[in-house]
Amino acid sequence: GENVEQHPSTLSVQEGDSAVIKCTYSDSASNYFPWYKQELGKRPQLIIDIRSNVGEKKDQRIAVTLNKTAKHFSLHITETQPEDSAVYFCAAGGAQKLVFGQGTRLTINP
Amino acid sequence: DSGVTQTPKHLITATGQRVTLRCSPRSGDLSVYWYQQSLDQGLQFLIQYYNGEERAKGNILERFSAQQFPDLHSELNLSSLELGDSALYFCASSVVGGKAYNEQFFGPGTRLTVL
């Protein structure tokens, strides 16, 4: 079945440094790739998404890149801040459903 | 606030029991999705409904069932509960219709504890 692999499972970076989280997907029909941020005990919230006709998208300190040929996509967070600490989930899918990665726990060290 | 509401927020019950979780989607959204999130785990897709009909199914156990009503709210029924069913259950909604992608908005979740 469809599968999304996310790495790393945990990531610790110094405040101000960059963080990169990578995902690969198996279903070549996937055309929508969102990233969600989930703080402890709260709902996942969409932070950025990219569609299959775009290779890169940026929104202030966050950016996502997509390589459809290789079936992988990445989240980049620059100038990290303490409030970036959370669990981040990637997902791949389309109109019917999303398949989520297992999540990356990002910790920003002051 | 995403506009998606879920009730109850917390639910504590015993093994073997049956519970019903409720979700109201954002105004205008026709699709409802149910996810299970166990402790320190990812989001496991359970089932999707679109305008009252089942649209996609994930790793949903036979002991679980769901439905979407004419007013578009949805209920997830969990029966013969086991300890391992303890988890956060999220509902999400989206507008699906003519779009190739699927932006989902999550509700606050229902935390189910089975003792």
Q: What is the pLDDT of residues A48-79, one digit of tens each?
A: 999 887 789 999 999 999 999 999 999 999 99
Give Cα A106 distance to the centre of its chain.
11
With CA atoms as reference, the chain A residue closest to B103 would be: A34
What is the rounded CA–CA span in Å between residue A75 and residue A37? Answer: 11
Chain B touched by A51 (CB under 8 Å): yes
Do residue B96 and residue A46 have CB atoms under 8 angstroms apart?
Answer: no
pLDDT at A98 over 60: yes
Task: Identify from A98, A99, A102, A104 which residue to disrupt to test chain B contact, counting B C-beta atoms within 10 A and taking the largest count.
Answer: A98
**CA–CA min distance B94, chain A (Å):** 10
pLDDT at A17 over 90: yes
| pLDDT tens digit sequence for B76-103 | 999 999 999 999 999 999 886 445 566 8
Q: For residue A32, how many other CB atoms are within 10 A of its CB?
A: 20
Strand partners, B88: B37, B111
Chain B touched by A98 (CB under 8 Å): yes
Chain B touched by A89 (CB under 8 Å): yes
Choice between B111 and A40, residue whose per-residue pLDDT is larger: B111
| pLDDT (tens place) for every residue of chain B, 115 residues total | 879 999 999 999 999 999 999 999 999 898 999 999 987 678 998 999 988 999 888 889 999 999 999 999 999 999 999 999 999 999 999 886 445 566 889 999 999 999 9
Per DSSP bridges, beta strands A56-59 and B105-106 are unpaired
Per DSSP bridges, beta strands A10-14 and A104-109 are parallel
Which one, of B115, B36, B28, B45, lies nearest residue A97 by Cα? B45
pLDDT at A96 over 80: no
**CA–CA min distance B115, chain A (Å):** 20
**CA–CA min distance B6, chain A (Å):** 11
What residues contact B96, with CB distance under 8 A and at least 6 apart?
Answer: A95, B30, B31, B50, B55, B102
Task: Identify from B104, B105, B113 which residue to disrupt to test chain A contact, counting A C-beta atoms within 10 A and taking the largest count.
Answer: B104
